[in-house]
Amino acid sequence: MPEPGPLDTVAQGDGFEDYYGLLAALHGYLRPRVYLEIGVHEGHSFQLASDALMAIGVDPEPNLRFPLPPGGRILRVTSDELFTKVDLATVTGGQSVDMAFIDGAHLFENALTDFANIERHCARGSTVLIHDCVPIDAVTSSRARTTVVWSGDVWKLVVCLRRWRPDLEVTTIDVPPTGLAIVTALDPTSSVLGDNFGEMCTELVPLTYDDIAGDFDSLLRPVRLGWTAIQGLLPAPYRGINERPVGGRLSGTGPA
Ligand SMILES: C[S@@+](CC[C@H](N)C(=O)[O-])C[C@H]1O[C@@H](n2cnc3c(N)ncnc32)[C@H](O)[C@@H]1O
């Protein structure tokens, strides 16, 4: 996978206006057969999965204001419940998840659990996106929510994956407002995250924004990239141009 070169780095102010724009481009290019989103809220990001054959949104308290994508279905459960009580493989008909977006509970250990659980349902060539990986400041990136814009300490997941899973390709895109990490080269057989979960939490949960402020760039390595460079980080599209989602096939809300 090519490293983005200096010519691919866009100037501050260029690139995608926000993460919705980047998500739309990722959907348009990757064309996932199965898309999984943890944390749907109003359905703004979920509606961008309009081309996915199957789009599964997971949220215990969705408050939909945007239309469901044609292949979309909301499961009103927490992500933990998805992986413990709901059989995701049954929901997908045994297909692996091509593309996933983690944007549920905003604490490090929740995002880590989400990533580890999702990876088991991926193929090596799948793509996992993690929202909120570029913290703005100490207040909005702390574990306690006191502000409207709040990324929580999800950013620690990038620190964790870089340290414990050097086999993964992790790129932290600095897209407003709080960044989006792209993870590829997945290993659904890896047990590293599950086996070392306690140690990871002991080490990283107490870490604060101020602790990493001096090493911010080296730990998170946020990059502002144009689409050409981002495309170079991605696997080939998951399907060709002829397969279209079937309208309403999986639409609906409610428990699995
Ligand atoms: C920031 S919002 C998601 C925004 C949405 N992805 C977007 O960009 O348009 C976070 C959502 O995660 C949901 N959430 C909180 N804890 C969760 C959990 N344990 N599992 C799944 N979703 C959760 C909340 O109910 C909330 O709707």
Per-residue pLDDT of the chain (256 residues; tens, 9 = 90+): 444 443 344 443 357 999 999 999 999 999 999 999 999 999 999 999 999 999 999 999 999 999 999 999 999 999 999 999 999 999 999 999 999 999 999 999 999 999 999 999 999 999 999 999 999 888 998 898 888 888 899 999 999 999 999 999 999 999 999 999 999 999 999 999 999 999 999 999 999 999 988 898 999 999 999 999 999 999 999 998 766 665 544 333 333 3
Give me the residues paired with residue 102 across strands.
Answer: 38, 130
Q: Classify residue 213 as left (phi > 0), alpha (psi -120 to 50) or beta.
A: alpha
One-character DSSP codes across 45-89: TGGGGTT-SEEEEE-SS----SPPPTTEEEE-S-HHHHHHTS-HH
pTM confidence score: 0.91
How far apart CA 229 and CA 156 sit, in angstroms, is: 24
User: Cβ(49)–Cβ(228) under 8 Å?
Assistant: no
pLDDT at 150: 84
CA-nearest residue, atom 5 of ligand 1: 40
CA-nearest residue, atom 11 of ligand 1: 39
Which of 26, 41, 56 best tests ligand 1's pocket when mutated (most atoms within 8 Å of CB)? Answer: 41
User: Regarding the domain with residue range 9-231, which homologous superfamily does it belong to in the CATH classification?
Assistant: Vaccinia Virus protein VP39 (3.40.50.150)
CA distances from 21 to 45, 91, 133 (A): 10, 28, 17
Which of 16, 59, 150 best tests ligand 1's pocket when mutated (most atoms within 8 Å of CB)? Answer: 59
Give the three-state DSSP class for 109.
Answer: helix
Rounded distance from Cα 104 to ligand 1 centre (Å):
4
Residues with CB under 6 A from ligand 1: 38-42, 44-45, 58-61, 78-79, 103-105, 110
Every domain of the chain and the residues it spans? 9-231
CA-nearest residue, atom 18 of ligand 1: 78
How far apart CA 185 and CA 162 sit, in angstroms, is: 13
Q: For residue 76, what are its two tokens? A: 């009103």
pLDDT at 244: 65
pLDDT at 2: 43
Indicate which atom in ligand 1 lies nearest the CA of residue 104.
12
Indicate which atom in ligand 1 lies nearest the CA of residue 66.
9
Rounded distance from Cα 62 to ligand 1 centre (Å):
8
- Give the total residue count for the chain: 256
How far apart CA 235 and CA 1 sit, in angstroms, is: 9
User: Cβ(29)–Cβ(246) under 8 Å?
Assistant: no
pLDDT at 250: 35
